[in-house]
Amino acid sequence: MLQACTCPNTSQRNSFLQDVPYWMLQNRSQYLTQGVDSSHIVDGKTTEEIEKIATKRATIRVAQNIVHKLKEAYLSKSNRIKQKITNEMFIQMTKPIFDSLMNVDRLGIYINPNNEEVFALVRARGFDKDALSEGLHKMALDNQAVSILVAKVEEIFKDSINYGDVKVPIAM
């Protein structure tokens, strides 16, 4: 995101980045159950309202991350789903996955002072299996496909390590 800073010298770049949280500078693509997104402060909206919008968008990003992983699994050789699932159906899966996400924590918020863009970082700690199953069934997916997809989402959450909670020895 901010890695493309065109500041002409190092001191200006460091000054520009001094208040930017580390999570804004990281490649967070390996954190499937986390998402970052933003919204701009506009006239008539409070900062709190914009933070809520950015947080919701970041949560949608988590659902999109999960959909991407489901699609990768579907396209792999080890896929066991017999029903054909189109690209459009994968896009439509974002809503039931978003609706099923539970225990979504906002881990960070950053307001860019240069353009008043509000960034939010969230993490979903789990999902409601019944809500996800119901949402996927509404998409006309058969029982076998729904069962495998729900199991894959469960696997994604089990495999997702919360690196923020891992204690790394200092003398590594």
CATH code of the domain containing 112: 3.10.129.140
pTM for this structure? Answer: 0.82
Over residues 43-58, mean pLDDT: 92
Residues sharing a CB contact under 8 Å with residue 148, sequence separation 6 or more, in sequence order: 80, 81
* Residue-number span of the structural domain to which 147 is assigned: 19-159
* 25-54 average pLDDT score: 88
Task: Report how far apart, in Å, the C-alpha atoms of 138 and of each of 18, 67, 95, 97, 154 are.
Answer: 48, 16, 11, 12, 20
Average pLDDT (11-30) is 72
Confidence (pLDDT) at 126 = 94
Sign, Cα dihedral of 17, 23, 24, 27 = positive
- 24 within domain boundaries: yes
**Residue 21 pLDDT level (bands cut at 50, 70, 90):** confident
- Is the residue at 48 inside a domain? yes
Q: What is the pLDDT of residue 9?
A: 52
Mean pLDDT computed over every residue of the chain: 86
pLDDT at 152: 96
40 domain residue, yes or no? yes
Q: Over the stretch 64-113, which tens digit does the pLDDT of each residue have?
A: 999 999 999 999 988 899 999 999 999 999 999 999 999 999 999 999 88
Residue 97 placed within a domain = yes
Write down the pLDDT at residue 170: 44
- Rounded Cα distance between 123 and 34, Å, is 4
Is residue 136 situated within a structural domain?
Answer: yes
Question: Region 120-137: what's the mean pLDDT?
Answer: 96
Nearest to 129 by CA among 110, 105, 148, 154: 154
Reference 107, options 168, 169, 5, 26; nearest CA is: 26
| 12 domain residue, yes or no | no
Asked if residue 99 is part of any domain, the answer here is yes
- How many folded domains does the chain comprise? 1
| pLDDT of 51 higher than 50 | yes
Q: Is the residue at 128 inside a domain?
A: yes
Residue 3 predicted with pLDDT over 80:
no
